[in-house]
Amino acid sequence: MSEEIRGANSNVVDVYSLGNWDKEADSVSYLDKIIRSTSLFTIYPEITGNLLFMKPHQKQQGMRIDMIISPKPAMVLAGWDRGAIGIECKKSGEKINHAFAQACDYSNTLWQLPNGFTTMCEFSFLWPFPKMGGFAASQMAQCKIGTLSHKDGNWPVLKFFCGESKVIKIDLTNNQVEIGKLNFGNKTGSR
């Protein structure tokens, strides 16, 4: 193995979920409480769905995501025009690897909402993970898979990032919403 490859591999840093939750259910409950406090989204917990497209030799199995949040009028007025958002939650200290693989499948899933409607999510976010950088950030931006965290210094802020780009920032003290420039993940094919 060349020194260049060895050097590149030695710089890989594992990314782990944030917070102090020993159980995934506690992490989900905390996020649910935060999102409900904003009154900006309708929350649909534990939604099931099916993959729309499969590769050869893939087997259909039921998909389940921890929550889908659908924007209420105030969120739409703030500029959100990308529809429902999928969120996969993990307990603290989990590597991002499996969550990212799940979210890849979720971007190709048709979800059954309890109100009888079906939806696809243009964006899926992994909670509670830090903002990503480098190659991982590029992959996440192309797939529209992001990370979601809840602190910005001492101010309570809910931050949705996709790769290195801000997607949504909600100041929880006043429900002030900032929508980022969503000019990524739209190209296909040759670059």
| Domain extents in the chain | 16-179
CB-based burial label for 161 (10 Å; 0-12, 13-18, 19+): buried
Least confident of 59-68, 89-98, 170-179: 59-68
With H, G, I as helix, E, B as strand and everything else as coil, classify residue 10. helix
pTM to 2 decimal places: 0.87
Cα distance between residue 119 and residue 110, in whole Å: 6
Answer yes or no: is pLDDT of 171 > 50: yes
One-letter amino acid of 122: E
Confidence of residue 3 (pLDDT cuts 50, 70, 90): very low
- Cβ atoms of 143 and 42 within 8 Å: the answer is no
Cα distance between residue 6 and residue 110, in whole Å: 41
Residue with tokens 């980022």: 180
Answer yes or no: is pLDDT of 175 > 70: yes
Cα separations (Å) of 21 from 13, 90, 100, 101?
22, 9, 19, 22
